[in-house]
């Protein structure tokens, strides 16, 4: 059984989706910690309900990003998870942390990468006029939303969509794709070769 830690900065809906999948037995792992950079986020309440330990490293308490990331790295070492899941974590992960946990961190992005990386993927998709949008779960590397892709799910873009309606449609797919990717990792079914992630067949 794998040790999973979740990094979150907001409401925690993807965090909850992963907790629910664990509870249903779909993920061969346990959530051993929630790490958050914001002491006021709703994800903390979700963790308390699920009896998941919470580590608060409040960004506003630090003089700069370097000091913040030093404590974050220390906390991640102490937690010693097999997988760190960035579920609505709104800060770019520093290079030192990425290098320390290469192959052990995944993120979800609300666009079909490599299109529309960075902030506001849904808005970028609408402004560009695409007909299909979606979400991507990928390994974290030193680039911005650039790591090897594990799972993608697509949604249609309608003529009357605004950012909110498209976000809701994509979020519903995030709640499916993210637990799926975590389950594949915890089942040792992911093989990374350069930019490619090969998904091994399920054991008989």
In 3D, which of 137, 91, 94, 140 has the Cα closest to residue 113?
A: 137
Residue 39 DSSP one-character state: T
**179 contacts: CB under 8 Å, gap ≥ 6:** 17, 18, 20, 21, 26, 27
DSSP H helices in 28-132? 43-49, 65-79, 95-100, 121-128
Contact 43, 202 (CB under 8 A): no
Catalytic residue check, 196: no
Tokens of 191: 């093989």
Annotated catalytic residue within 109, 138, 175, 196: 109
Sign of the alpha-carbon torsion through 18, 24, 29, 32? positive
Tokens of 1: 């059984």
**65 contacts: CB under 8 Å, gap ≥ 6:** 94
By annotation, the residues acting in catalysis are 109
């Amino acid at each position: 059984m794998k040790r999973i830690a979740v990094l979150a900065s907001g409401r925690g809906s993807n965090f909850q989706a992963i907790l629910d999948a664990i509870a249903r037995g779909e993920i061969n792992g346990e959530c051993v910690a929630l790490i958050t950079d914001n002491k006021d986020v709703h994800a903390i309440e979700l963790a308390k309900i699920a009896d998941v330990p919470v580590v608060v490293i409040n960004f506003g308490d630090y003089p700069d990003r370097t000091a913040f990331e030093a404590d974050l790295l220390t906390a991640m070492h102490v937690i010693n998870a097999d997988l760190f899941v960035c579920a609505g974590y709104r800060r770019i992960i520093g290079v030192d942390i990425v290098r320390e946990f290469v192959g052990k961190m995944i993120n979800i992005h609300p666009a079909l990468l490599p299109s529309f990386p960075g902030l506001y993927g849904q808005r970028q998709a609408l402004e560009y006029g695409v007909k299909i949008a979606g979400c991507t779960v990928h390994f974290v590397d030193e680039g911005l939303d650039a790591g090897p892709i594990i799972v993608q799910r697509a949604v249609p873009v309608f003529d009357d969509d605004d950012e909110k309606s498209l976000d809701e449609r994509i979020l519903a797919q995030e709640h499916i794709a993210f637990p799926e990717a975590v389950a594949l990792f915890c089942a040792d079914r992911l093989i990374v070769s350069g930019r490619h992630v090969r998904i091994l067949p399920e054991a008989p």
